[in-house]
Structure 1
Amino acid sequence: MTQLTLIQRSPDPEQSGRSTQRRPSLKDRFLAVGRSRLGAMLLVLATLIAIVWANISFTGYEAFWETHLTVGLGDLHLDFTLHSLVNDALMAIFFFTVGLEVRREFAIGELTSWSRAVVPVVAALFGLAVPALVFLLFVMGTGYEHAWGVVISTDTAFLVGALALIGPHATGRLRIFLLALAVVDDIGALSIIALVYTDHFNPWPLVVAAVGLVAVYFTRYLRGGRGPVYATLAIVVWLCFLASGVHPTLAGVAMALLIPVYRPNRRDVEHALDLARTFRQSPNTEYARAAANSLRESISINERLQSAWSPYVAYVVLPLFALANAGVRLDGEILAGAIVSPLAWGVLAGLVVGKFAGVFGSTALLRAFRVGEFGPGLTVDRLAGGAALCGIGFTISLFIVDLAITDETAQNEARVGVLAATVVALGIATLIFRISDAVRPREEAGLTLVRPVDPARDHLFGDPNAPMTIVEYGDFQCGFCLKATGSVQEVSRELGDSLRYVWRHAPLTRYHPNALAAAEASEAAAKQGKFFEFERSLFADQENQLPSDILRRAEELGLDLDRFERDLSSPEVAARVRDDMLDAEAMDITAVPTFYINGRRHVGPYDAQSLIRALQETVPDPTR
């Protein structure tokens, strides 16, 4: 039996209870998901303005967006309409930022393992194929079979914004799943645009684009000045895609997938802190510039670009796209025609029914055959609501309408179908989420441990087959968690081999800025078999958990420092901590320590005697 020997510090006698990360206020929730919500609202507002504008003066609406802009020097010039400037240039920036986020998820985020990535990838592929088949069932024989691309794609911005607006509580895993699905979906849709809806294809510019993309990859090795190089190569690659006839927005995705992403190196962070201290002692321009550059370079360019461009995409690019593309006339004649139009119904059914069947059906099959990893919180009802949201095909759907359909009346009918599908999909998703929250059993609302104890995964001491189990969700910077370690030690002495104890991470990052780094460091130590030793050292000195302190502890414990630092930066370690945090979110854990006694949430004091009574009450008496 592994012995538990935890260092105790005398807690403040006035302190009792738990460290609490309060429920976000209305202001906090707005700030947390404000960009998604406000972006979605602006998108809706721009859509309504476009519809009103087009119905007041459709000629004026079209004339405005067909205004020509010419940019050039001498004989070299580019001629754009305002409409194509929005669709070809600005939307490339949108797909670039989306690609950056998914690149991060596959590199260091939730989707680093194939067992997790396979679920959204398969769902996206079925979400491309099934809607097209449903569409063809409706339009067969009408001459519009080639417009099947209208129903294949999900609008990523609307999807994320709608999830923030109408989604259920604790959407962390669902959001990651839907984002990964949407981007794979977008890549597939853009590839179909390139292959199916490209009239004039010239392969030679793509050769130059390929060279430019190779240069993008190797730019990461430059010592400085990478920003201007990336910007120049981005323009070159975009122009090459434009010249090839392939839709230039695909250039944004291609660029994003080659931008490096990595976790901050502890030594780089420590170096930045040293420079900041030097500047504090001797403030001057040289030290200020060195400290600023060091801080910036410690964060990957992927994350810096996401932070810089996301507000412009949410508040400018997407609303402009909606304003330029959603202007459909909705007079009585057009609506009457849409009601009896196989094209309009095909678009509506393809997006609403096809997307739901493709996404939800494929994930249900994967779950039934135990293929891939879903994770606690990504339940059937959550997947159903997310699948319904995938029927919002707004952006790419409106875009392909212009590419695939030339008749103005048919275009309007298809646009009516796209707009109707957006409203219906949003309504169905809202209904699913509200019903699922209302009927969800209480044990799924945080009272029952969502991830069973797994000796191969969990940090466990005691007999793995012991009849009694304590699972603690805690934070290494929390004074109350320190107090709880003494209680657990006393319980262990009292119950002996009848108890097994598991620690899981729930760092309160809002109040404990070093708690996440400490959790990841403990996981890196666990790679060398010293999780509990590292835990003891963290609790012994909670006030000093900076990168230098973490490395010092690793050295004092005799860990291989090179391996420890590699593990600290590995996606596996980050994903392990993130798993626990997402599990905690799914169980509505907002305070630490939070205990689960034999799988049931413990409510009340966590002194040793209270924990022992709770354990004994949940274990059947074999003599009865």
Structure 2
Amino acid sequence: MLLGVAVALAWANIPGGSYDGTWELPLTLGAGDTAITFTLHAFVNEGLMTLFFFLVGLEVKHEFAVGELTDRSRALVPITAAAAGLILPALIFLLVNLGDGEPDAWGVVISTDTAFLLGALAIIGPRFSARLRTFLLTLAVVDDIGALLAIGLFYNDGLDIWPFVVAVVLIGLLAVVRFLPAPLRPPAYVLLGAALWVAVYLAGIHPTLAGVAVALLIPVFPPRRPEVERAAEQAQAFRESPNPRYAAAVSRSLRESFSINDRVQDAWRPYILYVVLPIFAVANAGVHITGATLADALASPVAWGILAGLIVGKSLGIFGATWLVCAVGRGQLAPGLSLHRIAGGAALSGIGFTISLFLVPIAISDPETQDIARVAVLAASVLAFFLGWAILAIGDRLSPPQAIGARLARPVDPTRDHVKGSMAAPYEIVEYGDFECPFCSRATGSVDAVREHFGADVRWVWRHLPLDHVHPHAQEAAQAAEAAAIQGQFLQMATKLFAHQGHLERDDLFRYAEMLGLDPDRFADDFASARVLRHIQDDRLDAEIMDLNSTPSFFVNGYRHVGPYDSATLIRALQSGARGAPAPR
């Protein structure tokens, strides 16, 4: 996208006007006597960008169905921050443009460019940025929802009733496509989606919203046990008797074990990110920059409204809302996510490239004012990047991260952690482990000896740290333990997993659940549920903050234990003081 911006700016400033002439070339889409004519620029903004908004819609649906937004209390802080980051920039823009500006162009400043935001964070590269990235990604999803609603509600050309009725009927048909036989669903979505695009266009609504509507009607679900088991059975049959029929059956079962949402995201994302968005950048970032253009921009309330909205409005809205929600006790920041990092992320959210440039020609009719707005959007994006970089760098220097891993990042919570022993016990051992790790299996003996020594005066806490690069079955073993925990048998399942570390295939895990007498259907549903996956991911992110990269890793009385973890050493470490006292180095 940066390369696309550079090409657009260079091309637009070549004498001869070839840039404008190229993008104003007419294109006609028609059949028989019915035809739609639009320019090459409109084809990019209203045709190709439908695919981008389709991808955004898929991400939104995924987050609400099985992702970060399934737990409303968990998502309260970024949702509130995103809402403030939508409203305050628009208000600031309106205040600046109430006189002789372009007040209807407030939508230009409301949205954050997710791709550039995460790319900027990667370029800056603050240490242990996973929590900040998750926060910003959740915020960006809500931001996208707000921007899509604004486009649909406020930026349309008036409603033509009959095409609108056809669009509603098509949406109803799309809603029932999920009930068709599996082979018919993809072509049905494509054909009905194309018809919906035409109907929405003729109705006077921006046609890119057709992509959002189709995406929201495509079902999403985690991998389901029956389809996975059927794929395994067919793979076994193919291994015993290789032939094209079995190969096709295996491929079909593997494909159908994932939702269409997941499959389409995985297949289309590279083309949209590496083809559609750079083409969009070339088509929209071309501004003929002259001294007069810059002078007009400096005197234009549109330019100052965009700069103030994206840089000041986004920063104050997101940071202020986050601080307020936490201050009144309605939300809590994840470990490692300090307020100065929120401030840096809020500043980076002022990068409003894609949807801002997308809305410029929709919200502003005068070509010269459009150029001024584009200059302001580009300038604001650059300034937001450097402002975010400065806040993160200075904040980390003034308030350096705590010695990584010296203390337990998240206190033990008996409502979510797996605790063996009393919460009133004066001594505590927290273990980050991996069910496929042989050292974790052997460490259970040390922990048992420690518990035998102290009796009721010690509690042991387990948290997950699957080392995927060396233990390919560790993640699913952790899922099995969490699914068993929901039915009250975490410790029993953990014992099974440690006792059978060489047999942790998925079929083995479900067999252990049956041996423990767990409800098989509930276990299967919980095994791949968002609740289970999020619990394990939280433990992983805590481990990253503390720079844990091996298992087992122990925290004794809240402090990192370094060195041998035999029972005698752990007992001495515990005896050095009750919880809260400094642990010996």
In which range does the TM-score fall when normalised by the shorter chain? over 0.9
Aligned to 1:231: 190
Normalised to the residue count of structure 2, the TM-score between the two structures is: 0.95
Cα deviation for residue 587 of structure 1 reads 2.3
After superposition, the Cα gap between the structure-2 partners of 1:85 and 1:459, relative to the gap in structure 1 and judged at 3 Å, is same
For 1:414 and 1:274, locate their aligned partners in 2 and report how far apart those are by CA, in whole Å: 59
CA contact (8 A) 2:219 2:260 kept: yes
Cα deviation for residue 618 of structure 1 reads 4.2
For 2:274 and 2:261, locate their aligned partners in 1 and report how far apart those are by CA, in whole Å: 20
Aligned to 1:303: 262
Aligned to 2:388: 429
Correspondence 1:113 to 2:113: no
Aligned to 2:492: 533
Aligned to 1:53: 11
Aligned to 1:32: none
For 1:157 and 1:213, locate their aligned partners in 2 and report how far apart those are by CA, in whole Å: 29
Question: What code does the residue aligned with 1:134 have?
Answer: I
Correspondence 1:271 to 2:271: no
After superposition, the Cα gap between the structure-2 partners of 1:494 and 1:347, relative to the gap in structure 1 and judged at 3 Å, is same
Correspondence 1:77 to 2:31: no
Aligned to 1:619: 578
After superposition, the Cα gap between the structure-2 partners of 1:304 and 1:170, relative to the gap in structure 1 and judged at 3 Å, is farther
Aligned to 2:138: 180
Aligned to 1:502: 461
CA contact (8 A) 2:68 2:138 kept: no
Q: Work out which of the residue numbers 370, 375, 394 in structure 1 matches 2:353.
A: 394
Correspondence 1:443 to 2:411: no
Aligned to 1:37: none
CA contact (8 A) 1:100 1:302 kept: yes
After superposition, the Cα gap between the structure-2 partners of 1:415 and 1:74, relative to the gap in structure 1 and judged at 3 Å, is same
Moved more, 198-207 or 598-607: 198-207
After superposition, the Cα gap between the structure-2 partners of 1:408 and 1:224, relative to the gap in structure 1 and judged at 3 Å, is closer
After superposition, the Cα gap between the structure-2 partners of 1:583 and 1:211, relative to the gap in structure 1 and judged at 3 Å, is farther
For 2:437 and 2:166, locate their aligned partners in 1 and report how far apart those are by CA, in whole Å: 55
Cα deviation for residue 360 of structure 1 reads 1.2
Cα deviation for residue 172 of structure 1 reads 3.0
Cα deviation for residue 264 of structure 1 reads 1.1
Cα deviation for residue 440 of structure 1 reads 4.2
For 2:180 and 2:385, locate their aligned partners in 1 and report how far apart those are by CA, in whole Å: 46
**CA offsets 1:363-419 (integer angstroms, 9 cap, x no match):** 111111122454323332222122111101111211222122222332222211111
Question: What code does the residue aligned with 1:524 have?
Answer: A
Cα deviation for residue 216 of structure 1 reads 2.5
**CA offsets 1:107-133 (integer angstroms, 9 cap, x no match):** 122221110233222222211110011
Q: Work out which of the residue numbers 449, 456, 480 in structure 2 matches 1:521.
A: 480
**CA offsets 1:141-171 (integer angstroms, 9 cap, x no match):** 1232222221111112211222222242333
CA contact (8 A) 2:8 2:282 kept: yes
Correspondence 1:333 to 2:292: yes
Question: What code does the residue aligned with 1:427 have?
Answer: F
CA contact (8 A) 1:70 1:80 kept: yes
Question: What code does the residue aligned with 2:55 have?
Answer: T
Correspondence 1:486 to 2:441: no
Correspondence 1:92 to 2:26: no
RMSD: 1.9
Moved more, 257-266 or 438-447: 438-447
CA contact (8 A) 2:483 2:526 kept: yes
Aligned to 1:189: 147
Correspondence 1:199 to 2:157: yes
After superposition, the Cα gap between the structure-2 partners of 1:287 and 1:326, relative to the gap in structure 1 and judged at 3 Å, is same
Cα deviation for residue 207 of structure 1 reads 2.9
For 1:474 and 1:83, locate their aligned partners in 2 and report how far apart those are by CA, in whole Å: 55
Moved more, 231-240 or 207-216: 207-216
SS of aligned partner of 2:17: helix
Question: What code does the residue aligned with 2:108 have?
Answer: V
CA contact (8 A) 1:167 1:433 kept: no
SS of aligned partner of 2:146: helix
Moved more, 403-412 or 461-470: 403-412
Aligned to 1:38: none
For 2:284 and 2:580, locate their aligned partners in 1 and report how far apart those are by CA, in whole Å: 69
After superposition, the Cα gap between the structure-2 partners of 1:143 and 1:381, relative to the gap in structure 1 and judged at 3 Å, is closer
Correspondence 1:240 to 2:199: yes
CA contact (8 A) 2:88 2:314 kept: yes
Question: What code does the residue aligned with 1:265 have?
Answer: R
Cα deviation for residue 63 of structure 1 reads 0.7
Correspondence 1:460 to 2:419: yes
Aligned to 1:4: none
CA contact (8 A) 1:115 1:373 kept: no
CA contact (8 A) 1:470 1:500 kept: yes
Work out which structure has the larger RCO, using CA pairs closer than 8 Å and 6 or more positions apart in sequence: 1
Q: Work out which of the residue numbers 373, 379, 390 in structure 2 matches 1:420.
A: 379
After superposition, the Cα gap between the structure-2 partners of 1:79 and 1:409, relative to the gap in structure 1 and judged at 3 Å, is closer
Correspondence 1:553 to 2:506: no
For 2:579 and 2:503, locate their aligned partners in 1 and report how far apart those are by CA, in whole Å: 44
Aligned to 1:163: 121
After superposition, the Cα gap between the structure-2 partners of 1:258 and 1:446, relative to the gap in structure 1 and judged at 3 Å, is farther
After superposition, the Cα gap between the structure-2 partners of 1:420 and 1:553, relative to the gap in structure 1 and judged at 3 Å, is same
For 2:313 and 2:500, locate their aligned partners in 1 and report how far apart those are by CA, in whole Å: 56
Correspondence 1:127 to 2:85: yes
**CA offsets 1:72-131 (integer angstroms, 9 cap, x no match):** 222133323111111111111112112222322221222211102332222222111100
Correspondence 1:356 to 2:324: no
SS of aligned partner of 1:70: strand
Question: What code does the residue aligned with 2:139 have?
Answer: L
Cα deviation for residue 441 of structure 1 reads 4.1
Aligned to 2:23: 65
SS of aligned partner of 2:425: coil
For 1:536 and 1:290, locate their aligned partners in 2 and report how far apart those are by CA, in whole Å: 37
Cα deviation for residue 615 of structure 1 reads 2.1
CA contact (8 A) 2:427 2:579 kept: no
For 1:49 and 1:306, locate their aligned partners in 2 and report how far apart those are by CA, in whole Å: 28
CA contact (8 A) 1:484 1:607 kept: yes
Alignment of structure 1 residues 552-571 onto 2, 5 Å: 552-571=511-530
For 1:355 and 1:72, locate their aligned partners in 2 and report how far apart those are by CA, in whole Å: 43
Which stretches in structure 2 are left out of the alignment for 5+ residues? none
Cα deviation for residue 530 of structure 1 reads 0.7
Cα deviation for residue 621 of structure 1 reads 11
For 1:57 and 1:372, locate their aligned partners in 2 and report how far apart those are by CA, in whole Å: 55
After superposition, the Cα gap between the structure-2 partners of 1:118 and 1:586, relative to the gap in structure 1 and judged at 3 Å, is same
Count of residues in Structure 1 that have an aligned counterpart in Structure 2? 580
Aligned sequence identity (%)? 54
Which stretches in structure 1 are left out of the alignment for 5+ residues? 1-42
Aligned to 2:240: 281
Moved more, 230-239 or 215-224: 215-224
After superposition, the Cα gap between the structure-2 partners of 1:75 and 1:99, relative to the gap in structure 1 and judged at 3 Å, is same
For 2:127 and 2:232, locate their aligned partners in 1 and report how far apart those are by CA, in whole Å: 37
SS of aligned partner of 2:461: strand
Question: What code does the residue aligned with 1:277 have?
Answer: Q
For 2:36 and 2:460, locate their aligned partners in 1 and report how far apart those are by CA, in whole Å: 67
For 1:51 and 1:327, locate their aligned partners in 2 and report how far apart those are by CA, in whole Å: 5
Question: What code does the residue aligned with 1:153 have?
Answer: S
CA contact (8 A) 1:69 1:81 kept: yes
After superposition, the Cα gap between the structure-2 partners of 1:77 and 1:454, relative to the gap in structure 1 and judged at 3 Å, is same
After superposition, the Cα gap between the structure-2 partners of 1:399 and 1:58, relative to the gap in structure 1 and judged at 3 Å, is farther
For 1:361 and 1:224, locate their aligned partners in 2 and report how far apart those are by CA, in whole Å: 48
